[in-house]
Amino acid sequence: MQTLQFEGRRNTSRNPNEEVIAAFEQEHQIVFPSDYREFCKLFGSGCIGDTLDIYCPENSRLLLGQERLQLIINNIRKFSFGHELDDEKIDLLRNAFWVGIDSSGYCLVWDLASYSEEDSSYNLYWVQEDCPEFWDLESNVYYAGRSFFEFFRDFCNGLRINPCLKPSYFRY
């Protein structure tokens, strides 16, 4: 089972309150899902079992993740070597909001284009950060769920790990 580590070297910010989260949302024109808001207020930024860093407002790495997504898009275009680019993947990345990263270089992102008022949430995806070997959506983008709470719960219980990783990678 994964363990939570929200102290020490990995926790680089304090837990944001509702005002901080609302100000971040307004400034960056995003609506956070309520379960993520609650997560941030309760835990703040941190690392789950030395495998997945999650970032919340009040942590500068949250916005650095947005820059990382742009670098992924740039790398896809730069290193395509004549391969046909997958516009669907580039659109997903262009509409993505970076929430965290795992220790193998897969980013956890929300697809902002998938927002629904019905559940006030987005689709979550794993996206390979390094310049991918293949450029199509199926090769290095994996659906991780819809609910941040369910993703977090299942990840901590070892049920929702990055599908690209072998189970032996995780220490239970």
pLDDT tens string 93-102: 889 999 998 8
Q: Using CA atoms, how far apart are residues 73 and 21, in angstroms rounded to an integer?
A: 27
| 8 A C-beta contact, residue 127 and residue 111 | no
pLDDT tens string 112-157: 999 999 999 999 998 877 655 554 444 577 888 899 998 888 877 7
pLDDT tens string 109-121: 999 999 999 999 9
Q: Using CA atoms, how far apart are residues 86 and 65, in angstroms rounded to an integer?
A: 22
Please give the average per-residue pLDDT across 45-66, as a whole number: 85
Q: Which of 97, 67, 167, 83 is nearest to 132 (CA)?
A: 83
Q: Which of 106, 44, 100, 120 is nearest to 72 (CA)?
A: 106
The residue count for the chain: 172
pLDDT tens string 22-44: 999 999 999 999 999 999 999 89
DSSP state of 13: S
Alpha helices, H only, the chain = 18-28, 34-43, 61-78, 87-94, 137-140, 148-156
pTM: 0.78
Give all domains of the chain, ordered by start, each with its CATH number.
4-169 (3.40.1580.10)
